[in-house]
Amino acid sequence: MDPGEGLENEEEEETRTHVPSTPGPSTPLKNSYTYHSPTPSGEGPYILGVDEAGRGPVLGPLVYGVAYCPVSYRNQLEELGFADSKTLTPEIRSNLLETLQSDPDNLGWSVRVISPQAISSGMLRRPATNLNRQSQDATVMLIKDVLDKGIRLSEVYVDALGTTSTYQAYLSSQFPGIAFTVESKADFKYKIVGAASVAAKVTRDACLEDWTFEELEYKSPDVTLGSGYPSDPKTQHWLKASLDPTFGFPKVARFSWTTVKLLLEKQGHAVQWIDEGQESLIKAFESAQGLDKDRCGLTRELGIRSIATL
């Protein structure tokens, strides 16, 4: 290899724009976390928008974003080009995130990155914490954090699916004095929600693109995760190629997703869980019953009168 080629690649890696709300290309995303931009100093009250990125994918984190600015800045915000991030190219989204950081006196933003492990553990526990509840908790956390910074909010706009009136009533009860608007396609209707959409989308895409595997066998430059959506052929190929029949998938996968569950059922090794300690204890009780008409020392110590108590 030409010595200059390696240097050129290193320089290219160094000049690549780092998204400040991500762990970075060499740090594993092990836990959920929150990132906040510097607090704006513009005079309030403020409007705030909420949107998410990554609700449907089988790979990577779910990211909730908020953006906020003074009410008096609303007209200027209209001219900055923010819109539903799904309608924008990656290059435009990246430029808009820079725009969001270009006026720190008036523009602020935050993201809550929910790791794949947290999503799965919440959905698989009993009782389950479903994705709606996890999303709701992330939204409330971000709004509280902004208020704790001393920002006075007068209006909050939230992009949401489902029964928006119920969600709007819930948020209004949590934050009295703030006017909430919860609507589907809010990222298209309100520029401040479009700004939040850009923050969430750019963060999620960068997290997945720069994903650093904790599992040594996946530390390969040839790994291509795709977009993370189950319908993406690249993601489908990665899932099928990366399944270990004994250990399953690395932590980038959401184990609570049907796509993953079906692959594990079809191609994974079946596991039978046996509680050997319980089985031995039962045998001990059964044996002791024939030797002691009252209670053996073990049953007396445990306060159990009969094997039926188990």
| Mean pLDDT, range 136-143, rounded to an integer | 97
Please indicate, yes or no, whether residues 199 and 243 belong to a single structural domain of this protein: no
Please indicate, yes or no, whether residues 94 and 148 belong to a single structural domain of this protein: yes
pLDDT of residue 290: 55
pLDDT in tens, 172-190: 999 999 999 999 999 999 9
CB 157 within 8 A of CB 66: no
pLDDT in tens, 6-55: 333 333 344 457 899 999 888 999 999 999 999 999 998 999 999 999 99
Please indicate, yes or no, whether residues 162 and 252 belong to a single structural domain of this protein: no
Please indicate, yes or no, whether residues 84 and 182 belong to a single structural domain of this protein: yes
Which positions make up the binding site? Answer: 51-52, 159
Instruction: Output the domain CATH number for residue 180.
Output: 3.30.420.10
CB 171 within 8 A of CB 180: yes
Name the residue with tokens 């509280």. Answer: 144
Please indicate, yes or no, whether residues 54 and 155 belong to a single structural domain of this protein: yes
Domain assignment present for residue 170? The answer is yes
Is the pLDDT assigned to residue 285 strictly greater than 80? no
pLDDT in tens, 198-210: 999 999 999 999 9
CB 77 within 8 A of CB 192: yes
Is the pLDDT assigned to residue 291 strictly greater than 60? no
pLDDT of residue 220: 52
Please indicate, yes or no, whether residues 161 and 256 belong to a single structural domain of this protein: no
Domain assignment present for residue 147? The answer is yes
Number of domains in the chain: 2
Note down the domain range covering 249. Answer: 233-267
- For β-strands 62-70 and 108-114, DSSP reports them as antiparallel
Helix axes 116-124 and 131-148, enclosed angle (nearest 10): 130
Domain assignment present for residue 116? The answer is yes
Q: What are the C-alpha distances in Å from 137 to residues 114, 132, 174, 194, 299? A: 11, 9, 11, 21, 46
| Mean pLDDT, range 290-294, rounded to an integer | 50
- For β-strands 46-53 and 153-159, DSSP reports them as parallel
**How far is Cα 96 from Cα 108, in angstroms, rounded to an integer?**
13
Please indicate, yes or no, whether residues 116 and 181 belong to a single structural domain of this protein: yes
CB 97 within 8 A of CB 199: yes
Domain assignment present for residue 255? The answer is yes
Domain assignment present for residue 244? The answer is yes
Mean pLDDT of the chain: 86
When mean pLDDT is compared across 3-17, 205-219, 226-240, the lowest value belongs to 3-17
Please indicate, yes or no, whether residues 92 and 239 belong to a single structural domain of this protein: no
Percent of the chain residues past pLDDT 70, beyond the cut: 80
223-243 in b/e form (b: 16+ CB < 10 A) is eebbbbbbebeebbebbeebb
Please indicate, yes or no, whether residues 70 and 193 belong to a single structural domain of this protein: yes
Domain assignment present for residue 141? The answer is yes
DSSP letter string, 104-145: TTT-EEEEEEE-HHHHHHHHHSSS---HHHHHHHHHHHHHHH
Is the pLDDT assigned to residue 4 strictly greater than 50? no
pTM assigned to the model? 0.81
**Is 284 or 251 the better-scoring residue by pLDDT?**
251
Domain assignment present for residue 18? The answer is no
Please indicate, yes or no, whether residues 115 and 206 belong to a single structural domain of this protein: yes
Domain assignment present for residue 11? The answer is no
Please indicate, yes or no, whether residues 120 and 262 belong to a single structural domain of this protein: no
pLDDT of residue 252: 95
pLDDT of residue 244: 87
Which positions make up the binding site for a divalent metal cation? Answer: 51-52, 159
pLDDT of residue 26: 85
**End-to-end C-alpha distance for the chain, whole angstroms:** 70
Helix axes 90-100 and 191-209, enclosed angle (nearest 10): 120
Please indicate, yes or no, whether residues 100 and 203 belong to a single structural domain of this protein: yes
| Mean pLDDT, range 85-92, rounded to an integer | 91
